[in-house]
Amino acid sequence: NVLAEAGSYNWEVPENQSSEYKIRVSDIADSQVFGISNGLFEILMPFIIIEHEPITVANENDTIVFNAVVTGNSDIEEVKVYYDKTGERAFENTLPMTVNGNRYEATLSSGFFTGYGIEYFIKVRDINGLEARYPEDGLLSIQAQISNMQSTVTISGGSAQNAYRMISVPIYLNGTTIVEQLSGKLPPGEPGIDWRLFRWSPSEGNYREYPNTGEGFMPGNAFWLIFKEGNYNLKSLEGTTVSTDNPLKITLLPGWNDIGDPWLFPISWAEIENPANANLSELYMYEGAWSEAGSIHTIEPWKGYAVRNNESISINITLKPNPATGASKTITKDKQLHWKLSIKAFTGEAKDIANYLGVRENAEKEWDIFDHVEPPPIGEYVSVSFPHYDWKDYPYVYTVDFRPPESTILWDFDVKTNIPRETVTVKIEGIEDLPEEYYVKNFDRDSKHAVYFNNNIFKFVSGKNLTERHFRLIVSDSDEPELGEYYSKPERFVIAICYPNPFNPQTIIQYELSMPGTVTISIFNSLGQIIRKYDIGHTEQGVHEFVFDAKGLTSGLYFYHIDVGYASTIDKMLFIK
């Protein structure tokens, strides 16, 4: 019932409950009927129809004209275009559309359409408050054709031990080959000398270097770049931005794949579609060292990331063009975790600091979801990994290895480096947080002897080429766990090298002790006569250096002899003035 005065009236009829109606007019007490409609009236459902030809691409800074045809069974009150920079999606910018009959038009002036492109939708409201939208769900995107795009990520030059970085380009570059795409845009200097560019090949399991990378930049892939000095970012790029109308499919080959964000805004890795439910590694990023497993949740434009397809076949994943919210995850206490240790390795400027072992209540002895694979090395490196090529499921090397609770647990781990003649420092952190009854022992798997700890650190010297040392860490609630073929005492040895060699007039004698001892360094000439002797005194286990100055000696062949009481070594060096 409606209290009536002179005028016109509207009623809303419940949908799917009526198809016809009558109008009856009575006095306020409903005691007398003054009129009733003649016959039955058909109920017409209100509707609005929007016809629009989407605009898909335009040149940067172009004037954009939007057109739409709007029809309905009520008068149209308002038609607007809502738009925003691609990825922003606040849609606080609107353009009223002017009408000519049932055709509507709005113009976005030159200068508002930037190299990021825009996303938009059209919204209509009639005089009864009914609203319609085009498209009904989602949005439309206009790709920008650009002639001078610049990366927002700046990379610093440096050494092959810490300056490699992954880069990606979130636009379709003009040109198909890597040479065409990057002509005049790479760092100054000679390729292979002043800078190097690589693309990881999953099928070959190695890096392919510019210009023979096998493919050029495409939205969604990533390359490796290093250069010697200064700062650098990609500039003067020409191409077209990627549409956000639809997700982007990426094929992951078996093994490691280097990927990037195909859009100019961050996206969430958690939103990827993995229809095959394939076993994929965590996402990794390299910035002087590989990131910790599980620490990367957002893919950012212009950067690169590594992910491993742990299956034996290629699979497809889909990246969704939804801006990452940036909402932080709530950190809750992990009640299943008993304890964990970290193993870190350092040599020169290289480091590997994201390796963990530990015990969880819900872990398995072999592969489970808490174990994470080790990313491949790049450049001059040092790496720590847990070798598990013997596992039934997903055999590989791992950077994180959790086990179920047991009285005694052992972890085999390898330390590798291709940096020659450098001190390698290995640090095990978290031992002090173990339960009081636990003991930690470390063994060399090759010599079968214990490795001496000093403040939870041990060191060794790398060789001339690739150095690979094999260790076994035993964590036990017994101070005398069953060791099998391993010896509880450290192996007694001293090893040494000197560099430079030949030298003038100084050289560094670098020596490694398997355990503490009293060190004496003696220098002999080619006739076997001792010419100098240095009493170094008590020295801890690990790697040490002594600077020998040959000032006052004649050119020729000399020998250095290092005696530590329990072991000794001798080697030659050449003094050339």
- Predicted confidence at residue 398, as pLDDT, reads 98
- Predicted confidence at residue 465, as pLDDT, reads 87
Neighbouring-strand partners of residue 273: 318
CA 21 to chain centroid: 64
pLDDT band at 112 (very low <50, low <70, confident <90, very high): very high
- Tokens representing residue 13 in the block: 């009829």
- Predicted confidence at residue 56, as pLDDT, reads 97
Decide if pLDDT at 163 tops 70: yes
- Predicted confidence at residue 326, as pLDDT, reads 67
Query: Residues 178-197: pLDDT tens digits?
Result: 989 988 888 888 888 899 99
**CA–CA separation, 316 and 276 (whole Å):** 8
Decide if pLDDT at 327 tops 60: no
**Residue 71 phi, psi dihedral angles, 5° rounding:** -130, 155
- Predicted confidence at residue 335, as pLDDT, reads 86
Q: Which amino acid is at 220?
A: G
**Ordered structural domains, the chain, with CATH:** 48-145 (2.60.40.10), 150-319 (no CATH), 337-476 (no CATH), 494-575 (2.60.40.1930)
HSE of 103, CA atoms in CB hemisphere, 13 A: 6
- Tokens representing residue 248 in the block: 């982007």
560 in Cβ contact with 478 (< 8 Å): no
Query: pLDDT over 90 for what percent of the chain?
Result: 71
- Predicted confidence at residue 176, as pLDDT, reads 81
Top pLDDT among 404 and 566 is at 404
- Predicted confidence at residue 24, as pLDDT, reads 73
DSSP helix/strand/coil, 464 = coil
Over range 422-440, report the average pLDDT.
92
